[in-house]
Amino acid sequence: MSNIVAIVGRPNVGKSTFFNRLIQRREAIVDAVSGVTRDRHYGKSDWNGKEFSLIDTGGYVLGSDDAFEAEIDKQVELAIDEADAIIFMVDVENGVTGMDEDVANLLRKVDKPVFLAINKVDNAKRSEDAVEFYSLGLGEYYCIASINGSGTGELLDALVEALPEKEEVVEEELPRFAVVGRPNAGKSSFINALIGEDRYIVTDIAGTTRDAIDTKYNRFGFEFNLVDTAGIRRKSKVKEDLEFYSVMRSVRAIEHADVCLLVLDATRGFDGQVQNIFWLAERNRKGIVILVNKWDLVEKDHKSVKEYEKAIKKQIEPFTDVPLIFISALSKQRIFKAIETAVEVYKNRSKKIKTSQLNDVLLPIIENYPPPAYKGKFVKIKYIMQLPTPQPQFAFFCNLPQYVKDPYKRFLENKLREHFDFNGVPVSVYMRKK
């Protein structure tokens, strides 16, 4: 479980620039993730070997100036609730504004680490101007310029120093299924349908996070932990339609799970918010099962299922090898199938393939369809092995790894899927120097 750091502040102070700088640094160092991420507001970063999840509240503010303030307050409150540390960003060009003061008032009451980052400080005159931010009553501040990165090192040093140590909880190896989705998609009804009125609960384990409760079930002959994100927050504190809210809730649950059951409302379709949550799970390399709920409410003919499936697969390219199940939580239609599929995806995610078998199957295919030559140089792939990671990752050893482009990596991924069944699981393909 990594810590969650939220970046808050009023619009246009440079939160997103700072956010992008941090997650690109991570991408460059740790791994280049294939496939574009479609989610601008959530990413993973690391500094001095400490990994954390980063949430940029910037992209969520909509509406007029009056609506701005209410929205920002909501986001800051939510960030205060959910995050382990908060970066409060202000802008030296505009000085201290009323909105900054409002945010500071909320943050002064918090017993979590808060870092005041004064952005756009790119010369000596401006670092003198920064002194006025002491008036916010948050103590020490950090002068940064997120556009060129100056000053971010000191801020990050202090940040990772202050992050609480997350203890790794080693539990018995039960599959952990998280039920995620936007508000009102039917997550609670799905969970109640699974549990039944008499609650087939073996034990209640309080999750390592305060909000996602893990419940151990033994149902349909499977034992599994259910990470439930539905109906946990007090309704009075949150406006249900806030996109930031459902993404923030999902981050915790997804990081905490092996397989995500993404519940969507058939009458609303696979909209932007559902897509955000889908890519969140994909970025975290979790197993995914898409559950189309309220299917009984949709007008349909014999072609409906196929067409609906096709439309969703189009939106999740290139990762289309994901099971889709049409359910009704109310009539309990196919909920057993949903759990059975989640268990299969869980097994696929922890599958280990013998090196000899990998090479026997894939090397002849690669021989027939080698990577395209690049600048007259031929890439020869000699050897393949699965890496010892919790989810499927494969290293292809070759003479010129830098010349193998994404389309060919996708070809290799598709061949792995074709022969070894990784349905519902993101697969990573790495090229390594022989």
**211 annotated binding-site participant:** no
Burial class (CB in 10 A: 0-12, 13-18, 19+), 192: middle
- Which range of residues forms the domain containing residue 27? 3-162
Q: Classify residue 109: in a domain, yes or no.
A: yes
CATH of the domain at 113: 3.40.50.300
**230 annotated binding-site participant:** yes
**11 annotated binding-site participant:** yes
- Checking if the pLDDT of 39 tops 70, the result is no
**185 annotated binding-site participant:** yes
- Checking if the pLDDT of 205 tops 50, the result is no
Q: Residues 180, 305: one domain?
A: yes
Q: Residues 244, 116: one domain?
A: no
Token couple for 162: 């202050």
**183 annotated binding-site participant:** yes
Which residue would you say has higher pLDDT here, 303 or 340?
Answer: 340
Task: Tell me how far apart the terminal alpha carbons of the chain are, to the nearest angstrom.
Answer: 33
Number of domains present in the structure of the chain: 3
**296 annotated binding-site participant:** yes
**427 annotated binding-site participant:** no
Task: Note the Cα 39 to chain centre separation in Å.
Answer: 9
**9 annotated binding-site participant:** yes
Q: Classify residue 297: in a domain, yes or no.
A: yes
Select from 139, 162, 185 the last residue of a domain: 162
Q: Dihedral of CA 362/363/369/372: which sign?
A: positive
Place of tokens 């609650």: 199
Lowest mean pLDDT among 95-99, 146-150, 246-250, 415-419: 246-250
| Distinct helix (H) and strand (E) counts, the chain | 12, 16
**37 annotated binding-site participant:** no
Q: Classify residue 336: in a domain, yes or no.
A: yes
- Checking if the pLDDT of 87 tops 60, the result is yes
Contacts of 391 (CB under 8 A, 6+ apart): 285, 286, 349, 350, 425, 426, 428
Lowest mean pLDDT among 41-50, 120-129, 231-240: 231-240
Q: Classify residue 169: in a domain, yes or no.
A: no
Mean pLDDT on 289-309: 84
Contacts of 239 (CB under 8 A, 6+ apart): 74, 245
Q: Residues 267, 337: one domain?
A: yes
**207 annotated binding-site participant:** no
Q: Classify residue 168: in a domain, yes or no.
A: no
**10 annotated binding-site participant:** yes
**pLDDT the model gives residue 157:** 93
Q: Residues 308, 367: one domain?
A: no
Q: How confident is the model at residue 231 (pLDDT cuts 50, 70, 90)?
A: very low
pLDDT digits (tens, 9 = 90+) for 317-357: 888 899 999 998 888 888 889 989 999 999 999 999 999 99
- Checking if the pLDDT of 125 tops 70, the result is yes
**16 annotated binding-site participant:** yes
- Checking if the pLDDT of 112 tops 80, the result is yes
**228 annotated binding-site participant:** yes
Q: Residues 428, 360: one domain?
A: yes
**182 annotated binding-site participant:** yes
- Checking if the pLDDT of 142 tops 70, the result is yes
Token couple for 327: 């359910």
Q: Classify residue 170: in a domain, yes or no.
A: no
**pLDDT the model gives residue 1:** 60
Q: Classify residue 344: in a domain, yes or no.
A: yes
Q: Write down the mean pLDDT value for the chain.
A: 80
**293 annotated binding-site participant:** yes
**199 annotated binding-site participant:** no
Q: Residues 229, 317: one domain?
A: yes
- Checking if the pLDDT of 238 tops 50, the result is no
Backbone angles phi, psi at 237, to 5 degrees: -85, -15
Mean pLDDT on 200-220: 48
User: Residue 97 corresponds to which amino acid?
Assistant: T
Burial class (CB in 10 A: 0-12, 13-18, 19+), 234: exposed
Q: Classify residue 76: in a domain, yes or no.
A: yes
Give dist(CA 137, CA 140) in Å, integer. 9
> Strand runs (DSSP E) across 243-331, as ranges?
259-265, 287-293, 324-326
Q: What proportion of the chain, given as a percentage, has pLDDT over 70?
A: 80
**13 annotated binding-site participant:** yes
Select from 349, 383, 404 the last residue of a domain: 349
- Checking if the pLDDT of 36 tops 70, the result is no
**56 annotated binding-site participant:** yes
Select from 140, 162, 184 the last residue of a domain: 162
**pLDDT the model gives residue 159:** 94
Q: Residues 281, 326: one domain?
A: yes
Give dist(CA 11, CA 159) in Å, integer. 22
CATH of the domain at 385: 3.30.300.20
pLDDT digits (tens, 9 = 90+) for 364-421: 999 999 999 888 889 999 999 999 988 899 999 999 899 898 899 999 999 999 999 9
Q: Residues 181, 306: one domain?
A: yes
**231 annotated binding-site participant:** yes
Token couple for 271: 């909209």
Contact 28, 20 (CB under 8 A): no
**12 annotated binding-site participant:** yes
Q: Residues 272, 377: one domain?
A: no
Q: Residues 222, 306: one domain?
A: yes
Q: Residues 37, 84: one domain?
A: yes
**214 annotated binding-site participant:** no
**92 annotated binding-site participant:** no
Q: Residues 31, 94: one domain?
A: yes
**95 annotated binding-site participant:** no
**pLDDT the model gives residue 183:** 72
Helix (H, G, I), strand (E, B) or coil at 25: helix
